[in-house]
Amino acid sequence: MYYDMHVHSAFSEGESSLEEIATQAKMLGYSGICFAEYFKGKQKMLELKEEIAKVSEKARIKIFLGFEARNSNELKRLVALRREYDVLLVRGYDTKLNRLAVETPEVDILTHPEYERKDSGLNHVLVKEAAKNNVSIEINFRNILINSKNSRSAVLSHITHNVMLCKKFKAPVIICSGAISHWQLRDPKIMISFAKLVGLDLHEAKLSLSEAPKRIINQIDERKSRKWIMPGVKEL
Amino acid sequence: MDNARGEGVMKLKTLPPSLREKHRYIAIKIISESPVEYSDLENAIWNTMLDFLGEYGVAKTDFWIIKERWVKNDQTCVVRCNHLSVQDVLASLGLVTRLGDSRIAVKILKISGTLKGLNKK
């Protein structure tokens, strides 16, 4: 049971339609995917939800709806609407936003903290916070795929550094494709081998593609039940 | 068999199993926009491997593409490496993005210790 929790469709910055991505993911052997789109208002969100339900039935694959916050204002709005969608991701790259993401328990995934940076974007303080608030740190495959030569080696070294910190402070690690086209999706076995390459054990690498997303998915159901009030608080 | 100098060529005795390299055969399927040719595939895989792992890295993987197992209709092929470097080879296969004008993705069908094992279900 493998899940890819970070894919962009044509709704935000992607090139491929929902259906193309869902079909390709199913063929490659994924059990579920999560579309991480940019927030464009409540009305658009409802339309997207309907479309996803249709595609999910047609392609026979579980599809989750996530939103990726690009700045602190967006994050605030998305946190307020937390019950309406499945997964909350934060687009890492800015130091302040990285910090804000790991300090917010509503956030599920901090995506590519090392994106377009000269350092890895995380340190021991941030990773400790991530472990405390259960925010998964993402290994972004597209970041490796689209770069080449020296920039790719820099990205790999930053990711390796982040993984080392996550292992040390027991912060959850998740590997996602971050694809913006269905041609950037890769076989789960290939994703696992990448996770191993950047410093996880083979077993941990497998968990980062199966158990880590599963934990986020279990939280979705919990959050949708009426007893849920906020992270860590629920009616008994 | 004679060589150019007319001397008989001595054939090497086959290594005992314990001294042979432990191979892994990886069956792959190419998913692409349009059907691909074997020569393009071979070039793309070798170039990506050399770029990503380097000459020394590829030497350690004992990598080979088995031409006889290329099936044009199914777009499937078999590559070989040693048992210690399967993850490195899989990662490199994931970085092959283009063959000429067509975008591709590689699907891993099966990994086995023998070629015969790839046919078993």
Q: Closest partner residue to B108 among A141, A148, A189, by Cβ?
A: A189
The C-alpha atoms of residue A113 and residue A165 are separated, in whole angstroms, by 13
Measured between beta carbons, the chain A residues lying within 8 angstroms of B87 are 192-193, 196-197, 202
Q: Which of A37, A199, A53, A231 has the alpha carbon at shortest distance from A132? A: A231
The DSSP call for residue A29 is T
Pick the residue from chain A with its C-alpha nearest to B85: A193
The fold of B21-113 is: Alpha-Beta Plaits (3.30.70)
Quick: pLDDT tens for B13-59. 999 999 999 999 999 999 999 999 999 999 999 999 999 999 999 99
Query: Bridge-partner residues for A89, per DSSP?
Result: A68, A109
Given the DSSP bridges, would you call strands B102-112 and B23-32 parallel, antiparallel or unpaired? Answer: antiparallel
Q: Closest partner residue to B90 among A27, A145, A189, by Cβ?
A: A189
Q: Is the pLDDT of residue B121 over 90?
A: no
- Look up the ipTM and state it: 0.90
Quick: pLDDT tens for A169-208. 999 999 999 999 999 999 999 999 999 999 999 999 999 9
Measured between beta carbons, the chain B residues lying within 8 angstroms of A29 are 107
- Rounded to whole angstroms, the maximal C-alpha distance in chain B is 52
Quick: pLDDT tens for A219-236. 888 888 777 877 778 787
Query: Bridge-partner residues for B111, per DSSP?
Result: B26
Measured between beta carbons, the chain A residues lying within 8 angstroms of B51 are 148-149
The C-alpha atoms of residue A6 and residue A185 are separated, in whole angstroms, by 10
Measured between beta carbons, the chain B residues lying within 8 angstroms of A145 are 94-95, 97
* pLDDT-derived band at B6, boundaries 50, 70, 90: low
* pLDDT-derived band at B7, boundaries 50, 70, 90: low
Q: Which residues contact B28 (CB under 8 A, 6 or more apart)?
A: B76, B77, B78, B79, B93, B106, B107, B108, B109
CA distance to partner chain A, nearest, from residue B94 (Å):
6
Tokens of A55: 């595609």
**Residue numbers of chain A with a pLDDT score lower than 50:** none
The C-alpha atoms of residue B53 and residue B88 are separated, in whole angstroms, by 8
CA distance to partner chain A, nearest, from residue B91 (Å):
6
Tokens of A75: 């994050």
* CB pair distance less than 8 Å for A149 and B108: no
| Residue found under tokens 């990503």 | B52
| Residue found under tokens 């099936």 | B71
Q: Which class would CATH give A65-223?
A: alpha beta
Where do the structural domains in chain A lie, given as residue ranges? 65-223
* CB pair distance less than 8 Å for A186 and B94: yes
DSSP, residue by residue, A42-58: HHHHHHHHHHHHHHHHH
